[in-house]
Structures are given as C-alpha cells and as structure tokens.
Structure 1
C-alpha cells in the first residue's frame, strides 16, 4: 500500500486535512468516507438495460423489505413519491398496488422504458434537472454511491421535497459485506460510513430521523446503511411552530408558575411573543425579581383566577401540580411544560 498522503477535501464532511490513500479509494481520516474518480464516461448508465433479474430469490427478498419500509413512511397513502434510480419500476408498482400515491421515478438507463409502463412519470435526466411539484417522499436505494458529486444530488432532493416531506436513502455500509475490506465494484465511487452519510445529509439541510445498518440488497451487499431524514426547519420556522404549540395548549393568555432554570431555558427566549399575564412562584425569595416586563409574584386567587397555568418545570412538575391543586386551582387549568414540548 502506498503510504504517501495527499491533501484533499472529503465530499461528506468537508474536512480539509491529510487523507490516507486506501486501495483504489481515498479515505477521510475524520468520517471514514472513501471515494475515487470514475473510470467510465458520463453516458455509461444510459446504455445499460435489464440490470435486475426480477425472478431471483435475492431480488424478491430485498423488494419485500423495501415495500415495507416505504409503505411505513406513507401516512395518508395519497402522497407524491419520487424514486431516484427506479430501474424497471418494480418497487413503484408494488407501492401503487397498495396505496393511492402518485409515484414518479428518475432512471437514466434503458430500464426507464419499462418503468414508464408502471409509474406515473419517469424522468430520464438526473434529479438536478427535474422540474416537478414538491414530493412528500423521496426514496433512493443504492444510487448515491454511483454519483461523482453526492452533495449536488442530495441538494437536488432538498429542492424537490415538500416542507414536511422525508427522504429515505440506502447505500452499502462501507464495502457492503462484513467479510470484505473494500468494495471493488468499478461503478461505486463512494464507500459510506454511518458518519459520512449522516454528515452529507446534514450539509445539505437535512435532519436525520433514523439511521440503521444491516439492510439487505443482495448476497454481496448484505450490509447496507439506511437513513430517513427531513428538511431542517430554519430558526424562525422552529420558533413559529413552538409558539403555535403554546397557543394550542393554552388557548390564549396564561400564567407561568415556577421561575427557575426551565423558565430561562424554555420560555424566557419566547416570552415577548407569548401571551404571558404573570410570572408566579411559591418562593418568597423570588418575588420582586424582574424578567422582561414581568415581576415575579405569588399566586393571587382573585387576580389570577380562571387563567391557565403553565408549570415551568420538568423535574418538579408533580410537586408543583399538587401544590396548585391544594390552593384551589382546577386540574383542567394546569398545563405541564412537557405537554407543550413533547412530540405531537
């Protein structure tokens, strides 16, 4: 093995560091990603045909598992789905037989002619050139490792995805088989690690929801990575969603009870945009402290009657709830901070 080192930049984590050559690939010392330049021309895939044997046991095995995985991400059954590298359209055919989805595909090889008979629309250009309405789900099985610049491909997915949409991407886990040290497939330009795949998606604006290994593609690629992600909302979008949760749970103006660390962490940054009427605490030592336009006081049944009360503590929520009940606050007026922040 040649131990001389070269300077380059990892296509996944963008580390500009000394990289260690490995057989046929260059390996990033930070995220472990391996990559190399293509040996075939850009039009290579357009000449290929019948890349899958639909009758083999291994093809049927992976197809059954993929149908389950994709179906599990369809919440209404009427979504718009785009499959990157749809081949002959077999997965889309199976999904359309189960759900009333619009199922489109991207396929560069001649298999797109078969896919066009199964799917709603098949694009014969890379995803970066596709112009279509946003998709609710984009799936890609064993495609990304073939693409010279995977960051450009994933960025195209982000453009084609709806705001609430998700992507499911699967690639070989490094060499793709636990007994192989390196992938010698000349079509594969990348060997992903769990870290490099997650970092690549994060670079392109995605937040990882689930990442797992051990997924079956074929006898020689029996260990594949699968990642499900959604677009990372911007900071202002996140804040707006959080404010909507407060509004939904409180229904309007409310009181905050328990002014401590959780208040400073989870409510104070939003206080100017919330309908807070008063800050309350049972500790007289906190009375008189000012936070923004509010001064901490004790609970006054006459002044504060009938308003919802948000318990601003996760750890001491049970104790505070019992105290509020003991001073005559009805249970239906008491709202836990956890019920606002927990996933809907």
Structure 2
C-alpha cells in the first residue's frame, strides 16, 4: 500500500484535537483554582508581604509620617542597643512577662485539663466556664476590670488586709506591676487547656491500667506516660503562647493608660513600639523594633524546634 501524507494527517487529526481539548480543560481548571485563591493572594500581597517590605525599608530611614523618609542606614538599630535605655527596659520587662508567664500559664492549663479529663456529668459545663476567660481575657473591658481588682481599694488588697498584709502598690512598684500582668496572662489559660484536654483524650487508658497493675502511682504515671505522650502538644502550646506573649499589647496599654508605668514596669515591647510609632511619630525607629522582634521570635521558635528532638515523643517514630 502506497504511503499517503494526506491519509496520515487525517488519522492524526483526532489525536491533535484531543490534546488541544485536554490542554484547554486543564487551563480552565487552573484558572478556576486561581480565581478561588486570588482573594487570599491579593490580601496577602496587599496587607502582609508588601507592607513588610516597606517596613524593612523604613527601618533604615528617619520617617515621621509628615515628611519624606531620609536614609540613615543602621542608625536605628545602633540606637536601640546603645542609646535607648527605655528600649532595653522594654526588652527586660517583656522577657520577664514571657519567660515567667508562659510556663506558669501552660502548667496551670495542663493541671486544669487533667482535672476536667475526669468522668463527670457536669464536665461539659465546667469546660465552658474555664474557657470563658480566654474568650474575653484580652479585651479592653477585662483589662479595666483587672486594673480595678489591683487598685488600692480592690479585691486583691482587701484580701491581703484580711491576712494582715498591708496594701501593695501595684501601680507604684515596677516589680509588682509586671507581676500583675503575668497574673492576667496566667488567668487566660482556656485555649491552651482545651488543646491539652484534646491531647489527653488521645492517650489510651490501657497504658494507665497496665501501669496500675505494675504498682505505679499517680506521679510516676504523669511523668512516664502522660507527659511523654503529651510532649508534642506541649511543644505546640509553648510555641503559640510564646509568640502570643511577645505580641501582647492591650493589657499593658489599658492598665498603664498607655504610659507603661510605673517607671516602665508595664512597658512591654509592643507597647513601646506603639508609643514610638503613633505617639512620637518615629516610624523608622518603630519599624526597626518590629524587625528585631520578628528576628528574635523566629530564632527562639527555631531553637524550640531544634531542641524538641531531645524531649518530644512522637508515637509514629517509636520514641524521641
């Protein structure tokens, strides 16, 4: 049979049409996907990524919102660590708030979660009651309430007077004022408690029964069963609560009326950044502060992940 180019083209035409149709179908499917994710992409670019780049540029400038930015290089960063005592004080107060408040908050949340993990007909009601502080804990109203509780005539000083202890000047003593903020942080344990409670529900009761048969008490069960199997949840809560603690703003602002007093005792990092940006119009300096916080939180989170290999138990891996 003689080869005919026309015949070959005729046979390949359906294949070409099918390939073209498949490409159009894939393109249509991709465009549909892009259309669905476009609100997020546009929002991320407009309200997160591009502002971050602008903030990075402003951190190397002197900018006050009323004039064009003036490039000053690394002067803002040098000033933070060598010429601004208030900045260093805000770092100290924030470290106390984070590294004291977060462990206490997690310990309290775990203790309450273990109590609520017990079998009770009212356990659902108790969980709701214990979670309520986390819903309203960061609000302006609760911060005002907390300020009234620790006032000279507040409930705390009244209770101390009943015990024969004189009034504590919560708003006049820097050490007492930061402790007041830490107490408020610990009181907002509801979200961590619910996550711990979910983790406790995933621990098999057979392990506790086997430990009881071997004669193990409550303390060995906690350190040999509960804590290792809950270690991944502890890591998650620790990271999330640490990041949240570094970003705390509303309680410090409301309790100190935006001044960070007394003597900088409640001047958290975020509050000092806010004052520099919106009270003193030092936008360049505030941007530099924001980037230092971002870098520090990123490094701290990386350290937590790196060290977690030594103490976090993953059941799928059969150990640490």
RCO higher in 1 or 2 (8 Å CA, sep ≥ 6)? 2
Give the number of the structure whose residues are more often strand, by fraction: 1
TM-score bin (small chain): under 0.3
Question: With structure 2 as the length reference, what TM-score do the two structures score?
Answer: 0.22
Question: With structure 1 as the length reference, what TM-score do the two structures score?
Answer: 0.21
